[in-house]
Structure 1
């Protein structure tokens, strides 16, 4: 069995009429330029990114995926992916924060029944919520038990993205009676919710990660969104697309980091700095080692980008097929995303590490802040390792096995 090919033909148009892709890409670039001006100082300060979220909100990026008729941006997933990549090139942590926000808010609307989704969407758009949390499987899961008038949520979730600034949390919990995993939405202002900024990572410090303690937190029936149980007899192929949709956000984040560090290193090199020949006069860099390094990293990043474009078209095509999507088609899409995950992870790690060699000893300067790219990329790839995804690709290629349903943290 061969590896999946991307669907042929143009992407289907979104039925969410909004300002258009060009508008949102321009807004993303302007926001990224704004974030880049003080990226080093903000990262070194390591404060909760309340100001950064305000910048995203004022730019209209928090409601990008909400239909225009509901006072949102009216954009589609290809546009959202491009926005995350643009922001990540300037600030990887804010790129992660925004990507997680898109996935968690979309999942909340995607999994719940239509009338509840419509009410939730209107409130989200009106109040421009920032979403945090995570739906990945945990060794010690949150538990959801039945109680009078609904349910109660107990347990601790470790280091989900965005919780320090979130207006709403989307989390994974298991039913106390059956063990079924469910997606649940929680207001972090509820009594019994305790948020601790204890992540203390060496990178992605502005992704607003931390731990959340739930102590008998009341959960209304409407706030139990849907099942996360992976069973081809229970979960439709369309619902299963939540996995590659979310994982492709991490791919865009990694590519943004790789492109961001190369762009910044290029500007530094063009100023005439050479790591191997400090006395070289200012002018266009001609050092063969520098040119070869830039060439290799450009090929690596562009190759990952091309594979990601195929995965993006496949995901968008799967969403467009809706209920007609088959499990075999879902498997093809998921494997293609896994391939993009592996390629983008290598591109991010190689580019952010070797850019330090290209810049040379000056890259050790905290004032220049080149180290933040490596620390951000390395932290993200530690939390999102690709070893299992490579195994899934191999099992699919060799045995035709459908990949498992895996959600990002």
Structure 2
């Protein structure tokens, strides 16, 4: 794993040593994997508020994910992976996010970047990438921020060279491999490649000091003359140095965007579910009934407005979960049916599934913000204490739901509803 500089405070992996033996065997079923994710969430949830306030680089938490096997959840069994579908991956992200939104987000991004070759790689690159990541139990970060097209690529013989910077990256500081993305000089063609994180040409700014998702190491990074063999340019022909039409010029290549958008929605949902669970325990144990209402109750759990709010939050979260699971199944179906036959996926079908994903994004953004802010109304003034840590749930959801404006998802869905239009493939649809 990349070493966090001594000048940057980091959590100590030794605190999770016992779990390496406890989780030595990988789960072998959907239920087993989700049970493992819940165990990880329970471990993380025990001190999540304190770790959030300490704001240390999450070196130990990445080691915990490695011990759990969750980094291998989607990988082929022949290399030691769990070979689970994305539908299970999304549910596992959600479970981990209930305990710690930052680590749920890091797991989600890892699962996306570690399977990027499935979408934009050649068959040979898919196999080579899986073997490398799964057999080494690598954690993968990503310096991919498409709004800032500030990584330039030049071709030098049998290599390509990345230069530039990214204002945001995710998890790179604590990663083993980093996905780089840039534009090839003299073209408008983008190239993705996985590189070793621990090299002089990758220099992290260590400047992630935002209000939420504080343990995601999502700050800036400078890329200085990082060299990559042409054979590692995902989806490109290394001989002709051109993009493969059968890989990058078909609708299947556009699945990368709905796949990661659904990652986002699932950790929003998990964070909101975690907030409701955390608040519920606090209300039962600590919240006092209001004694000046004229219809006084002996305990907070008898208060009508408290019961009504919790019931309403629960109903909306349950509905959001059902929608998220349906979208996960729809996307899983595209991978199942078209990974071996990419040309068989039409743009229309891809777009219709993207609208399932957009629907989840809208709903989980709305309900996530509403629940994580609303739980304060049913826990009381003392729940605002930093010692309680209830604020982290809202801060986490508020931070990432600004990733791309949800208003555009609403507009996109409006055009689909009124005009039958599916979205064009972009960096955000």
Quote the residue 1:6 is aligned against.
Answer: none
Residue 174 of structure 2 is aligned with which of 158, 165, 182?
165
Residue 90 of structure 2 is aligned with which of 68, 81, 85?
81
Contact 2:109-2:141 at 8 Å conserved across structures: yes
Question: Per-residue displacement from partner, 1:180-199 (whole Å, max 9, x unpaired)?
Answer: 12212222222321111112
Residue 374 of structure 2 is aligned with which of 345, 354, 358?
354
Residue 372 of structure 1 is aligned with which of 386, 392, 395?
392
Using a 3 Å threshold, how does the CA distance of structure 1 residues 226 and 292 change in structure 2: closer, same or farther? same
Residue 309 of structure 2 is aligned with which of 281, 293, 317?
293
Question: Per-residue displacement from partner, 1:298-320 (whole Å, max 9, x unpaired)?
Answer: 22212222222221121112222
Contact 1:104-1:134 at 8 Å conserved across structures: no
Quote the residue 1:260 is aligned against.
Answer: 274
The answer to which structure, 1 or 2, has the higher relative contact order (CA under 8 A, 6+ apart) is 1
Post-superposition shift, 1:265? 0.7
When structure 1 is superposed on structure 2, of 274-283 and 293-302 the one drifting more is: 274-283
Using a 3 Å threshold, how does the CA distance of structure 1 residues 277 and 56 change in structure 2: closer, same or farther? farther
Q: Does 1:41 align with 2:50?
A: yes
Quote the residue 1:31 is aligned against.
Answer: 40
What is the correspondence of 1:112-151 to structure 2 with a 5 Å cutoff?
112-151=121-160
Inter-partner Cα distance in structure 2 for 1:196 and 1:276: 49
SS in 1 for 2:369: helix
Question: Per-residue displacement from partner, 1:343-384 (whole Å, max 9, x unpaired)?
Answer: 011111000001112112112101110011111111111224
What is the TM-score normalised by the length of structure 1?
Answer: 0.90
Quote the residue 1:383 is aligned against.
Answer: 403
Residue 119 of structure 2 is aligned with which of 89, 110, 114?
110
Question: Per-residue displacement from partner, 1:151-183 (whole Å, max 9, x unpaired)?
Answer: 110111112211111111112211111121221
Number of residue pairs the alignment of both structures matches: 391
What is the TM-score normalised by the length of structure 2?
Answer: 0.86
Q: Does 1:331 align with 2:351?
A: yes
Using a 3 Å threshold, how does the CA distance of structure 1 residues 254 and 277 change in structure 2: closer, same or farther? farther
Contact 2:257-2:427 at 8 Å conserved across structures: yes
Residue 220 of structure 1 is aligned with which of 229, 253, 258?
229
When structure 1 is superposed on structure 2, of 307-316 and 83-92 the one drifting more is: 307-316
Quote the residue 2:413 is aligned against.
Answer: 393
Inter-partner Cα distance in structure 1 for 2:27 and 2:249: 31
Uncovered stretches (5+) of structure 2, i.e. residues with no partner: 1-25, 237-242
Contact 1:18-1:67 at 8 Å conserved across structures: no
When structure 1 is superposed on structure 2, of 319-328 and 17-26 the one drifting more is: 17-26
Post-superposition shift, 1:283? 4.8
Residue 70 of structure 2 is aligned with which of 61, 66, 73?
61
Contact 2:97-2:267 at 8 Å conserved across structures: yes
Contact 1:275-1:357 at 8 Å conserved across structures: no
Post-superposition shift, 1:33? 0.6
Q: Does 1:321 align with 2:337?
A: yes
SS in 2 for 1:164: helix
Residue 328 of structure 2 is aligned with which of 303, 312, 335?
312
Contact 1:136-1:408 at 8 Å conserved across structures: no
Quote the residue 2:425 is aligned against.
Answer: 405
Contact 2:235-2:247 at 8 Å conserved across structures: no
Inter-partner Cα distance in structure 2 for 1:283 and 1:371: 24
Contact 1:272-1:283 at 8 Å conserved across structures: no
Question: Per-residue displacement from partner, 1:60-104 (whole Å, max 9, x unpaired)?
Answer: 111111111111122221111111000001100100010000001
Contact 1:251-1:344 at 8 Å conserved across structures: yes
SS in 1 for 2:214: coil
Inter-partner Cα distance in structure 2 for 1:274 and 1:345: 30
Post-superposition shift, 1:400? 2.2
